[in-house]
Amino acid sequence: MGRAINNQIRKMMFISLCVTALILTACAHQPEPIAYNPPGFFSGLWHGFIILFSLIGSIFTDVRIYSFPNSGGWYDFGFFLGASAFLGGSGASAS
């Protein structure tokens, strides 16, 4: 019986820790980028497609893989599509 209570206490402590971590991270935000013409969807698509070359370039030079400041969600979506297209994210060829 004492062992079951210890397990319940551990579960409650774990849940409390997770909830506390979620509450603390919910307050975090990025500063609003100030840019005249930030990169959008098509720039994200291009940057995602050339991700491997950018990674190699970033090792040897001052090249960034991900553009900042960008336009936010649309840039992220384009980057995701470009990276998944280049890195084989479709999975149709797996079978």
pLDDT value at residue 22: 87
pLDDT value at residue 72: 81
- Claim to verify: residue 24 and residue 57 sit in the same structural domain: no
Residue 93 lies in a domain: no
How far CA 47 is from CA of 60, 80, 95, in Å, comes to: 18, 9, 28
Instruction: For residue range 18-46, list pLDDT tens digits in order.
Output: 999 888 887 777 667 677 888 889 999 99
Can you read off the two tokens belonging to residue 77? Answer: 């979506």
pLDDT value at residue 46: 93
Residue 57 lies in a domain: yes
> Given the structure tokens 């336009």, which residue do they identify?
71
- Claim to verify: residue 54 and residue 77 sit in the same structural domain: yes
Q: Considering the entire predicted model, what is its pTM?
A: 0.58
pLDDT value at residue 13: 93
Mean pLDDT computed over 51-67: 87
> Which residues form the domain of 7?
1-30
Q: How many domains does the chain have?
A: 2
Please state whether the peptide bond connecting residue 69 to the residue before it is cis, i.e. omega within 30 degrees of 0: yes
- Claim to verify: residue 47 and residue 21 sit in the same structural domain: no
